[in-house]
Chain A
Amino acid sequence: MTNTQHKSPPNASGLISDAKTAGKISIRNVSKTYDPDGVNVLALDDCSLEIQAGEFCVIVGPSGCGKTTLLNAIAGFHDITSGQIDLDGELLCSKDKQAEPGADRIVVFQQGALFPWYTVLENVVFGPSVQGKMSGPKAKKAAEDILAQMGLQGILHSYPSEISSGMRRRVEIARAMMNDPKILLMDEPYRAMDALTKTIMHKNLLDVYDRSGKTVFFITHDLEEAIFLGTRVVVMTTRPGKIKKIIDVDLPRPRDFRILASEHYLELKKEAIESVHEEAKKAFEAGERELA
């Protein structure tokens, strides 16, 4: 059975900010079927999960297990077939109501979605500017502050195509943070990166997380990344996607790369690998059956 019982995120170091009042996601009995060719495909099957405010929740599972489906439902990109999702106790979406995309739940996309026609600065002020929340100069000042905090002050007037992919990812996170979202939805943001760039990205993201205490919903295939970043790692089954196992990652924060060699990290990694491998094998065999 799935373990949906909530455990509060570990706070061993006491460094996580206390502003964890917003950003609680309750996923209750959510299912989603697609029927692209008149054949029903069950993508999500009765998923229930409580994500606490300020939690770094990582979702892992084989390709096509419905991770992105779940993220898209929270973001408001599509509807769900049954069940409901609440954000801070208020109904976000159900089978009758698709969520509206909004600045309280910002998505960081797999391929990156900085607008190539805007400079870094113009990208970062986009949110407050279209929402009419801040005056031009005020938004510019805030954007400069956020970019400086992330070590990106030298590239304000560069276009996305002129900076490295790692920088682009950080700018995209800065663009999200400008809106003070309740939750960051990250869909395999570091997938296409080399291992070294990834470690820098991780450090950077953890800095932002530790400082802001935002809820993070993070999808990945990379189990090392999952354990290194997450408060909890949720393993999903192969299609139809169900929640198979939840691993509590009680490693102290702030974390750095030295943790990767610790006994406890390796134990957790082993647990995750065993659980995911089983599903990957099932998915692979199902794929072979389909081809046969």
Chain B
Amino acid sequence: MSAISLFFFRTKLWLKSPTPYLTLLGLTLLILLWWLTTEVWQLPRFEKLPGPVSVFKEWVSKDPSYGISIYMPEYYGHIWRSVLRVLQAFGLATVLGVTLGLFMGWNKIFKDYTFPVMEILRPIPMLAWVPLAILMWPEREMAIIYLTFLASFFATTLNTLLGVESIDESYFRAARCLGAKERHIFFRVVIPGAMPFIFTGLQISMGVAWFSLVAGEMLAGEYGLGYLIWNSFILVQYPVIVIAMVTLGVIGWASSAIIRFVGTLLMKWQTRESS
């Protein structure tokens, strides 16, 4: 069966199963509850929060009261700045983290030097790095990217290392039997063998990148979704907070999906296994 007809077949099966309808129902219930507590009943603690109707109206308005809607270039400006920062930080963290993790897993002596340092730095919460980041990088832009990078970097490095260590010893032995030199083992056993863990690590890394980005933007940003959230709070523009939050959710989910997609492309041997 070709890939396309297989895709249609699976979609048909999925539409026949209860899964998509239950998903939809769950979402509807969440929005309904939000609407009831904030806009209908106005329960204590909820009465100040923006409700779904006011958020939605603002979001799709051609003339929004607070200047942020799908028709406003400012909205996309904030999104673009955040995406660009994450791309830079995540890209750098991936290149450095994967390289470092591969070498740590491959070379015992190198791991003995680097692993304890990693293990001490890794548990430090990203917010604790904020003052040092600002001292190190006088330009705010760099400070934010640096914070975002740090979180991603540790997640990627650690998972890559675990990936190399998860490779069964018999693959190394088989490769040596077949006459492989160290460089062959690195490129033909270590890298492909660690790939599943690397991609798990990249998913986690992408998640923590968005987390640290928003923290950084709230503290030091002039643009971006994190800045938008904090600034709207100060300016009492509450619907905008929720618009930015939902936007973050959708972009975060999309970025994870892209990583998964690249992973399945690179690891056909794993995808085909499950089918």
Q: Convert B170-187 into 0s and 1s, putting 1 for each residue whose CB lies closer than 8 angstroms to a CB of A.
A: 110111111111001000
Partner of A130, one of B188, B192, B195, B268: B188
Contact B171 A113 (CB under 8 A): yes
Q: A117-B192, A159-B273, A162-B273 are in contact. Are A109 and B178 (CB under 8 A)?
A: no
Contact B178 A106 (CB under 8 A): yes
Contact B268 A159 (CB under 8 A): yes
Distance between B37 CB and nearest chain A CB, rounded to angstroms: 50
Q: Convert A108-140 into 0s and 1s, putting 1 for each residue whose CB lies closer than 8 angstroms to a CB of B.
A: 010101011110000000110011000000000
Contact A77 B173 (CB under 8 A): yes
Q: A106-B177, A130-B179 are in contact. Are A111 and B170 (CB under 8 A)?
A: yes
A67 at interface (Cβ–Cβ under 8 A)?
no
Of chain A, the residue at the smallest CB distance from B273 is A161
Distance, CA A118 to CA B267, complexed state (A):
10
For A118, what are the chain B residues with a Cβ–Cβ distance below 8 Å?
192, 269
Contact A126 B173 (CB under 8 A): no
Contact A113 B173 (CB under 8 A): yes
A60 at interface (Cβ–Cβ under 8 A)?
no
Distance, CA A137 to CA B79, complexed state (A):
50
Contact B178 A130 (CB under 8 A): yes
For B168, what are the chain A residues with a Cβ–Cβ distance below 8 Å?
111, 113
Distance, CA A64 to CA B168, complexed state (A):
21
Q: A117-B193, A117-B267 are in contact. Are A101 and B273 (CB under 8 A)?
A: no
Contact A102 B273 (CB under 8 A): no
Interface range, A side: 20 to 34
Q: A103-B179, A159-B268, A162-B272 are in contact. Are A115 and B189 (CB under 8 A)?
A: yes
Distance between B184 CB and nearest chain A CB, rounded to angstroms: 4
Of chain B, the residue at the smallest CB distance from A110 is B170
Number of interface residues of B (CB under 8 A): 24
Distance, CA A115 to CA B175, complexed state (A):
9
Q: A117-B192, A117-B193, A130-B184 are in contact. Are A105 and B273 (CB under 8 A)?
A: no
Contact B180 A130 (CB under 8 A): yes
Distance between A17 CB and nearest chain B CB, rounded to angstroms: 23
Distance between B210 CB and nearest chain A CB, rounded to angstroms: 30
For A102, what are the chain B residues with a Cβ–Cβ distance below 8 Å?
177, 179
Contact A107 B179 (CB under 8 A): no
Distance, CA A218 to CA B171, complexed state (A):
20
Q: A126-B188, A159-B273, A162-B272 are in contact. Are A101 and B181 (CB under 8 A)?
A: no
Q: Convert B215-244 into 0s and 1s, putting 1 for each residue whose CB lies closer than 8 angstroms to a CB of A.
A: 000000000000000000000000000000
Distance between A132 CB and nearest chain B CB, rounded to angstroms: 9
Contact B173 A107 (CB under 8 A): yes
Contact A101 B176 (CB under 8 A): yes
Distance, CA A117 to CA B267, complexed state (A):
7
Q: A115-B171, A159-B273 are in contact. Are A107 and B193 (CB under 8 A)?
A: no
26 CB < 8 A contacts A-B:
A75-B177, A101-B176, A102-B177, A106-B178, A107-B173, A109-B170, A111-B168, A111-B170, A113-B170, A113-B171, A113-B174, A115-B188, A117-B192, A117-B267, A118-B192, A126-B188, A127-B178, A130-B175, A130-B179, A130-B181, A131-B178, A131-B179, A159-B268, A159-B272, A161-B273, A162-B273
Question: 9 smallest A-B Cβ distances: which pairs?
Answer: A117-B192, A113-B174, A101-B176, A161-B273, A127-B178, A131-B179, A113-B170, A103-B179, A159-B269
Q: What residues of chain A have their CB less than 8 Å away from a CB belonging to chain B?
A: 75-77, 101-103, 105-107, 109, 111, 113, 115-118, 126-127, 130-131, 159-162, 175, 179
